[in-house]
Amino acid sequence: MSTATETARPSAAPVVRDVRPDARRPRPRVGKILLGALGIVLSLVWAFPVYWMLLSAVTPDARLRASTPSFLPTHFTLSNFGSVLTGSGFGGALRMSLMITGVTIVVVLAFAFLAALAISRWRFRGRTGFVLAVLFIQMLPAEGLFIAQYKMLSTVGESAPVLGLNSVLGISILYAAMLVPFTIWMLRGFVAGVPAELEEAAMVDGLSRTKAFLRITFPLLAPGLVASGVYAFLQAWNEFTTALVILPAEDHQTLPIWLRSFLSASANRGIDWGEVMAASTLIAVPVIVFFLFVQGRMTSGLVSGAVKG
Amino acid sequence: MTAATPAPAIAIRRRRTPATPYLLLIPAVLVLLVGLGYPVYWQVVTSLQEYGMMQQFGAPPTFAGLDNYARIFSDERLWTVVGRSVLFCLVNAFLTVAIGLGLALLMKAVHAAVRVTMQVVLLLAWATPLVAAVTVFRWLFDYRAGVVNWLLVQMGFEQYQGYAWLAQPLTFFLVATVVIVWMSVPFVAMSLYAGLTQVSEEVLEAARLDGARPAQILRHILLPLVRPVLAIVLLLQIIWDLRVFAQIRLLQDAGAPISETNLLGNFIYELGIGSQDFSGAAAVSIFVLLLTVLLAAPYVRSLMKEDAA
């Protein structure tokens, strides 16, 4: 970061400097410019798929089928979005995704918050075992569990359809189980960051334990809860593997599963890539917005152990 | 184990009600038992049972010992899939970490404006939901109007006119690798860049004054200092690249030969949901879960260190 003074020069600086006869170290400068160019090229390569998705979404299908693709929005149209939004399925899938994500977030936050409180404010017998289990469980892949979860929900669904396959509650419980461990871990850090002494001081001043917690500790934990909530939103909103198995009925699909069906249906009549990209854009944009909001906390949560260790 | 070892040298906070932490854990433990505990238990039991057509129609399952494991693990198809999965996973993980490290070093070397551009672009790729990302790459590699084929033909490779990348196993996995590397590199690059910024500028300046060349600084200062982060990131990548069911399934929709492109998760799906061989699928699932726990052990250990700190 201390190179900032050097790197903050206006871009004309290298030219001026090369003219000087006593430019002792021209090589690092040239090297830096070349590296900068490489960085820009790589950025363009990495950004291209997202750009191509957005561009194709606003280009009519006839133009997309042309032998020479256009790299700028020269035939701008919103008709692709129109046909996706008015077509079958999107509304229902959106509702399904919203309900499942909503239930999951509430359950995950409430349950994980209580558990995070327990492991960061108390040392009790079995605590290490619990933390160990939580850390291992968060690594388990959905692929290693979905057959059993499918059988479990189909059996339960025979007597209680609200908890069976294709039900909001059924898959929300599975999502909650998948997300609670990491959320406990994430919130643990936030809870540990609020010193218990603050709460104790409030109690000395005459507040009850509950009031001290609600008035002092809870507001300080709000950023942590928001970050964890957004994380749970992203995971539940994007989840594909479990949803594919647990929600087989076509009218109970979440958005990711719906996008796959939409593409398959489009494939039967020669894929309309404009519409498919418009559908992808509709799914991706809210996620990208939320992601940018939460990412800083996520990176530090995942590798902080390694950075410190 | 946890009962025998005394609590580490941490100030033990005495609270009035020692039952409170256990009460706080109840909801989280319950949801974990229902969503993950029971499915794992079911898988263990089912993998030890005969669960054929008779049982589908209500006959009680019979105990079969390790017959299912013997049957599945003597099946050549399984070992082909395991070999393919491990190879795919290792290639992707090392490629992702190598490119991520390159980008992290590049970000450290370039002008601040270039660095910010790279970070924004990486975040964009990171934030793109999996289903949307795979769908975009299907469009990029579309055999008729895909921009990749167009570009290759423009560059003089006429044989790529109408080339169907996803129809053959080898090029199928090439495209899968491109998608997964594109999606995974941002996390690696950002984590490693965060690790690199921890290296103090004084150390680097001292090395430069002592006449160290950039390659020497990289080898003797930067790499040793980010080794802990590098190890964790590589480990996470290996674990994550074993669970690529969704990417493979979505790419297979484009008409790939299913049995020649299945990886472990897809094999389980096919065995359980496709052929209704639940005991076989349960046996493979147990194998996948054990493999994950084994691989995750070093990561969990580093996180436990953070918990004790």
Range of the domain at A189: 88-271
Show residues of chain B in contact with A46, CB under 8 Å: 121-122, 124-125, 182, 185
Same domain as A124, residue A242: yes
Residue A224 lies in a domain: yes
Enumerate residues 95 to 114 of chain B having a beta carbon within 8 A of any beta carbon in chain A. Answer: 103, 106-107, 109-112, 114
Domain ranges of chain B: 77-262
Verify whether the Cβ–Cβ distance B31 to A291 is below 8 Å. no
CB of B211 less than 8 A from some CB of A: no
Matching residue, tokens 């399952």: B61
Same domain as A128, residue A101: yes
Residue A302 lies in a domain: no
Residue A114 lies in a domain: yes
Q: State which H helix or E strand residue B63 sits in.
A: strand B62-63
The Cα–Cα gap between B22 and A119 comes to: 10
Same domain as A261, residue A132: yes
Show residues of chain B in contact with A196, CB under 8 Å: 13
Q: How far is CA B232 from CA B228, B240, B298, in A?
A: 6, 12, 8
Among A30, A46, A78, which residue terminates a domain? A78
Verify whether the Cβ–Cβ distance B305 to A122 is below 8 Å. no
Show residues of chain B in contact with A124, CB under 8 Å: 18, 21-22
Same domain as A220, residue A132: yes
Pick from B30, B236, B10: nearest CA to A128? B10
Verify whether the Cβ–Cβ distance A46 to B123 is below 8 Å. no
Verify whether the Cβ–Cβ distance A36 to B114 is below 8 Å. yes
Q: What is the least distance, in Å, from the CA of B170 to any CA of chain A?
A: 22
Pick from A54, A236, A10, A14: nearest CA to B113? A10
Residue A292 lies in a domain: no
The Cα–Cα gap between B62 and A1 comes to: 67
Q: What string of pLDDT tens digits covers the 309 residues of chain B?
A: 444 444 444 445 554 557 889 999 999 999 999 999 999 999 999 999 886 666 667 777 778 888 889 988 898 999 999 999 999 999 999 999 999 999 999 999 899 999 999 999 999 999 999 999 999 999 999 998 899 999 999 999 999 999 999 999 999 999 999 999 999 999 999 999 988 988 888 888 899 899 888 888 888 988 888 898 899 999 999 999 999 999 999 999 998 999 999 999 999 999 999 888 888 999 999 999 999 999 999 999 988 988 876
CATH number assigned to the domain comprising residue A164: 1.10.3720.10
Nearest-Cα residue of chain B relative to residue A47: B121
Verify whether the Cβ–Cβ distance B111 to A184 is below 8 Å. no
Pick from B161, B109, B104, B166: nearest CA to B137? B166
Residue A92 lies in a domain: yes
Residue range A254-278, pLDDT digits in tens: 999 999 999 998 888 789 999 999 9
Among A78, A106, A135, which residue terminates a domain? A78
Same domain as A152, residue A129: yes
Same domain as A249, residue A117: yes
Same domain as A46, residue A178: no
Residue pairs spanning A and B at CB distance below 8 A: 326
The count of domains in chain A is 2
Verify whether the Cβ–Cβ distance B125 to A256 is below 8 Å. no
Same domain as A117, residue A74: no
Verify whether the Cβ–Cβ distance B302 to A305 is below 8 Å. yes
Q: What is the homologous superfamily of the domain B77-262 according to CATH?
A: MetI-like (1.10.3720.10)
Verify whether the Cβ–Cβ distance B114 to A39 is below 8 Å. yes
Same domain as A51, residue A147: no
